[in-house]
Amino acid sequence: MTKQTDLGGSFTPAGTSLSLKRMGYGAMQLAGPGVWGPPRDMDAAVAVLREAVGAGVNHIDTSDYYGPHVTNQIIKRALHPYPKGLVIVTKVGGRRGEDTSWLRAISRQELTDAVHDNLRNLGLDVLDIVNYRVMGSGHGPEEGSVSEQVTVLADLQRKGLIRHIGLSNVTAAQVAEAQAITGIVCVQNNYNLAHRHDDALIDELARQGIAYVPFFPLGGFTPLQSSTLSAVAAQLGAAPMQVALAWLLHRSPNILLIPGTSTLAHLRENLAASQLTLPAQALAQLNAIASAVVRSQ
């Protein structure tokens, strides 16, 4: 294994002392099919986590409703006691139904229980960052107040169970509403080469020193498909998904990536994307992809 010392550089969210490598790791795919139950190969899941951290990754994204409980338990098994400087980011606001459905869990008791579940399954006394995830009908935000839920997390923060608070799947108005209650260190929304509805929000968060963390950076359950992306990748001698990740790192210095995988080969490919340089012509071609997607809709 070659240690990736840069990983796209580092970013420190305003109001924190966290120095986060911009290329992180998302743990969702460590669970079984449909993010349900244990993985097919527990040893492989453990190996992926250990290699990621060994390669320099110092922030991992997870949630106790992945599995449920599975990914957090794997993280604990693989990495506990945790190395100094490793930041684990989790999220609350959802739960899994017995039919594997994704459900809201937003009452004070449900949010409090979720924080304690994360603490227990990760083997921690305090959570580094907890994102309140707004569970909508799809993978995009829906308008509506988040004040009640953010207030619960702020109360748990004052009790010493949470260090920092973030948001996931939210609008700019919801970010502003949350900031009136407590400091927000990161926003995690659906964003990638083809899905760029958050461009203005990313720029505003950058001005405030707040991290923006794209989920589905490679398209999610429907991987990015673009002849332009494939052509640029061929020109650079890289995989298309590496180019898509490199573009995100170039897009704004406050963008942190958490691509997920359950295999060592894919992990190494993702990490190597942080070393990829995109020439001006390639950037221009890639920037045009979103416009082409909009015209086709």
| 204-243 burial code (b ≥16 CB/10 A, e <16) | bbbeeebbbbbbbbbbeeeebebebbeebbeebebbbbbb
Enclosing H/E stretch for 188 = strand 184-190
Q: Exposed/middle/buried for 122, CB within 10 Å: 0-12, 13-18, 19+?
A: buried
What single-letter DSSP state applies at residue 69?
T
Question: How crowded is residue 120: how many other Cβ atoms within 10 Å of its Cβ?
Answer: 14
Report the alpha-carbon distance of residue 241 to residue 239 in Å, rounded.
6
Neighbouring-strand partners of residue 168 = 133, 188
Identify the sign of the CA torsion 174, 297, 242, 31.
positive
User: Is residue 66 annotated as part of the catalytic site, yes or no?
Assistant: yes
Is there a contact between 32 and 71 (Cβ–Cβ < 8 Å)? no
Strand order of the sheet with strand 184-190?
25-26, 59-61, 87-92, 127-133, 162-168, 184-190, 211-215
Alpha helices in the chain (DSSP H): 42-54, 70-79, 108-122, 147-158, 172-179, 199-208, 227-236, 240-251, 264-272, 280-296
Closest CA to 60 of 32, 20, 33: 20
Catalytic member of 25, 65, 66, 132 = 66
- Would you please indicate which residues are annotated as catalytic (active-site) residues? 66
